[in-house]
Amino acid sequence: MFDALGTDYEEAFAGSAAHRASLEQLLEVLPPHARVLDIGSGTGRPTALTLTDAGHTVLGVDVSPVMVEIAARQVPGAEFRCVDIRELPLEDSSFDAVCVYFALLQMSREEQADVLRLAGRVLRPGGHLALATVPLDVEGVSGTFMGQPVEVTSFGEKEFTALVEEAGFTVLSRESNMFVPALPAAVPEPQMFLLARRR
């Protein structure tokens, strides 16, 4: 799906003040020259760009070759790989932070739990997880996103927060908002941003 969207996706969501605020919150707790894993890195903006501009080392991972190509061009200071994060061999406790912004919505609930546990495994103790989702209690719902067919699975706010905690994290903050993408006939969508620390 995201191969067909390319930079259209970035333009539609570029106005998200909540995403930028989440990144600023993460920057406040990162050590200097931190190593950050960005799961579902998309076009590289704003996440990888913000982090590399702040002097951190970023590895972005995405399953879309088009997105990875765009990201490598737009954020040359980061490294990007086109691979399913669950198939990428990563050392335990090798990152200071992991970002997962809206990358779980096309996964099953079991797969989402797996990725959160993976994030906990690759984070050093005390490392931080910044993530965002659309907090709706839906499973395998078919629809259309930016003109592309999509199947979405998610959790309600309390259930998703509990899932993060069960993966070995302490949730430090939770912010919810309504966001309207810059798209024709767009309607507000709920979003939830979490910052958590690995126990």
pTM of the model: 0.91
Q: What is the CATH number of the domain that holds 77?
A: 3.40.50.150
| pLDDT of the residue at 122 | 99
- Number of domains present in the structure of the chain: 1
pLDDT tens track for 146-165 = 667 889 999 999 999 999 99
More confident residue, 124 or 182: 124
At 63, the pLDDT band (50, 70, 90 cuts) reads very high
| pLDDT of the residue at 143 | 76
> Residue 8 above 70 pLDDT?
no
Mean pLDDT, the chain, as a whole number? 93
| pLDDT of the residue at 88 | 97
Amino acid symbol at 191: Q
| pLDDT of the residue at 82 | 98
Domain of 96 in residue numbering reads as: 2-198
Buried b (16+ CB within 10 A) or exposed e, 79-98: bbebeebeeeeeeeeebbbb
Sheet with strand 95-101: strands edge to edge: 79-82, 57-62, 35-39, 95-101, 123-133, 189-198, 169-179
| pLDDT of the residue at 7 | 61
pLDDT tens track for 80-102 = 999 999 999 999 999 999 999 99
- The Cα 174–Cα 194 span in angstroms is 5
| pLDDT of the residue at 76 | 98
Nearest to residue 152, comparing CAs of 168, 133, 169, 167?
A: 133
pLDDT tens track for 100-133 = 999 999 999 999 999 999 999 999 999 999 999 9
> Residue 191 above 90 pLDDT?
yes
User: Structure tokens of 104?
Assistant: 């779980």
| pLDDT of the residue at 181 | 83
At 12, the pLDDT band (50, 70, 90 cuts) reads low
